[in-house]
Amino acid sequence: MKKYVCEFIGTAVLVLFGCGSAAIAGEALGTLGIALAFGLSIVAMAYVIGNISGCHINPAVSLAMLINKKMTVKDFICYVIAQVLGAVLGIAILYCIMTCSGLDIATQGLGANGFNEASSVNLNMIGAILVEIVLTFVFIYTILGVTSDENKSSVAGIVIGLTLAFVHIMGIPLTGTSVNPARSLAPALFLGGEALKQVWVFIVAPFVGSAIAAVVFKVLNKEEKE
């Protein structure tokens, strides 16, 4: 149960500070500032809950761990439920803060992902799927690499956080960057409309990118051991 609670808290923090930075101060922070907000959230949580739950705080990460047999099906299901609930809590808190501040949620948004008109560069659906698969592949592949070597455990949180930041730097103008189905689902549920219609892309594509990364890592790592 401790593991699930940690995943719940960690995902709530990631979503609140990441999506919150985009929704409240996006224009002031810019792409780099928002990217760092997501990345630093990972760094902070990694050194608090990493030794308990592994600090997945992302269903795509949990899927990769499942494929590589580093967690059970039961744990995977419970992790995903905890992550989604945590993301919903994070967005609920952000919603309350924005409402109390008098900010127009319809205008500011909640850090939701999107394509076509919702993309800063009018990226279409196919482009959004490709971008999310590639960005998630890079993110997950890095996680698998840095967590597979115990000698790198002391810097794993920093490496993973910085990797999340750099994939956001490219992805924010394109889709807002998901690479995390829970992070995408929560704001879409609150916003509804077009965000909810498009959210399937940001659930499916990260899972696909994660699965590819897990399989590639598994094959290459096996050959290296042999």
Tens-place pLDDT, residues 189-204: 999 999 999 999 999 9
pLDDT digits (tens, 9 = 90+) for 57-112: 999 999 999 999 999 999 999 999 999 999 999 999 999 999 999 888 988 889 99
**pLDDT at res. 31:** 94
Whole-number percent of the chain with pLDDT over 70: 98
- Whole-number pLDDT of residue 149: 80
CATH number at residue 195: 1.20.1080.10
123 and 49 Cβ atoms separated by less than 8 Å = no
CA 201 to chain CA mean position, Å: 14
Whether 18 and 183 have beta carbons less than 8 Å apart is answered as yes
* Three-state DSSP state, 182: helix
* 224 confidence band (pLDDT: 50, 70, 90): low
Residue range 101-126, pLDDT digits in tens: 988 898 888 999 999 999 999 999 99
Predicted pLDDT of residue 225: 55
Domain count, the chain: 1
> Is the pLDDT reported for residue 223 higher than 70?
no
Q: How many CB atoms lie within 10 A of CB 73?
A: 8
Domain range holding 208? 2-225
pTM score, two decimals? 0.93
Cα 98 from Cα 206, distance rounded (Å)? 28
Read off the pLDDT of residues 121-169 as tens digits, 9 standing for 90 and up: 999 999 999 999 999 999 999 999 998 887 777 898 999 999 999 999 9
With 0-12 CB in 10 A as exposed, 13-18 as middle and 19+ as buried, what is 31? middle
